[in-house]
Amino acid sequence: MNDQNQRTYASAGIVWYYTQLNQLQPAEQVILDRFKPQLSSMRMLDIGIGGGRTTNVFAPLVKEYVGIDYSAEMVAACQKRFAKNLPSLALEIADARAMQQFADDSFDFILFSFNGIDYVPEGDRLKIFEEVKRVGKSGGYFCFSSHNLQGLQKTFSLKASMSLNPLQTYVNLVMLALFKVLNPTVNAHQLATADRLIVRDESHNFRLRTYYIRPAAQLKQLEPYFYNAEVYSWQSGRNLSTQDALVQNEELWLYYLCQIS
């Protein structure tokens, strides 16, 4: 899973795609607005910067910004993108699973946006949480997004594939068939009952192995490292503060904001 995903994030077309992104996602905007008064006093670590979508927004607002990515190609693309406007920007090639270049208790705010954490297997995901807890200051904030297994269950179902538009139905059914062919061991029962699954989904033409988790399981997984965890709707930025809102949510990914223990 690791090598395949890392190679995908090094490929020229995908690097180019990420350099074209500029807009914050609705949940990110809500979180930015919430932290705006404090950002100028915060040291921020932005993990998995890709083509610099969040760099563009956060680097000018925080006291100190450090951006990392394990794809040397993404870091190079960012260096090129910001060479003129933010020439002294700290951008480094680094893997979130082992961030030994950063001392303990270094950052007030750590971001791993747009589901970057979903491209490593379970054990490595826990290593990332461990590392974020180590390099983050106690009481500091960690924000990330992750794929929602409830959203996957809905997207790749026969019922959800049917649309009033015949062309859309055709496209949905082709995607469903591809999903089934490329994930032969994943069945409907697993989609309905598993807490977490790694699948080849449609992003970047099914090239990535992506980790999906139910929001309730994600909250549980965070407990050893973080506290005050909140879940935000990716699409509306609404805080999903009730059990019902979490269990019923069928968005493809969600944002999590928590404090470092």
Ligand X SMILES: C[S@@+](CC[C@H](N)C(=O)[O-])C[C@H]1O[C@@H](n2cnc3c(N)ncnc32)[C@H](O)[C@@H]1O
DSSP string, 15-67: HHHHHT--PPPHHHHHHHHHHHHHHTT-EEEEES-TTTHHHHHHTTTSSEEEE
4 versus 187: smaller Cβ distance to ligand X = 4
16 versus 227: smaller Cβ distance to ligand X = 16
Helix, strand, or coil (residue 212)? strand
Say how many CA atoms lie within 13 Å of 13 toward its Cβ.
4
> 65: which residues sit within 8 A by CB, 6+ positions away?
44, 46, 55, 58, 59, 89, 90
Q: Does 116 bind ligand X (CB under 6 A)?
A: yes
Provide the minimum distance between the beta carbon of 70 and ligand X in the complex, in angstroms, as a whole number: 4
Question: In this structure, are residues 102 and 80 in contact, taking their beta carbons and an 8 Å threshold?
Answer: no
Q: Which residues of 64-86 are buried (b: 16+ CB within 10 A; e: fewer)?
A: ebbbbbbbebbbebbeebbeeeb
Q: Of the listed pieces 46-54, 83-91, 164-172, 235-243, which binds ligand X according to CB under 6 A?
A: 46-54
Q: Does 96 bind ligand X (CB under 6 A)?
A: yes
Q: Of the listed pieces 113-121, 171-179, 222-230, 250-258, which binds ligand X according to CB under 6 A?
A: 113-121
* Distance between CA atoms of residues 118 and 192, nearest Å: 20
173 versus 207: smaller Cβ distance to ligand X = 207
Q: Of the listed pieces 49-57, 176-184, 193-201, 244-252, which binds ligand X according to CB under 6 A?
A: 49-57
Q: Does 53 bind ligand X (CB under 6 A)?
A: yes
Q: Of the listed pieces 68-76, 217-225, 237-245, 251-259, which binds ligand X according to CB under 6 A?
A: 68-76
17 versus 227: smaller Cβ distance to ligand X = 17
Question: In this structure, are residues 55 and 46 in contact, taking their beta carbons and an 8 Å threshold?
Answer: yes
Provide the minimum distance between the beta carbon of 165 and ligand X in the complex, in angstroms, as a whole number: 29
> Nearest-CB residue to ligand X?
50
Which positions lie near ligand X, rule CB under 6 A? 9, 18, 21, 47-51, 53-54, 68-71, 74, 95-97, 113-116, 119-120
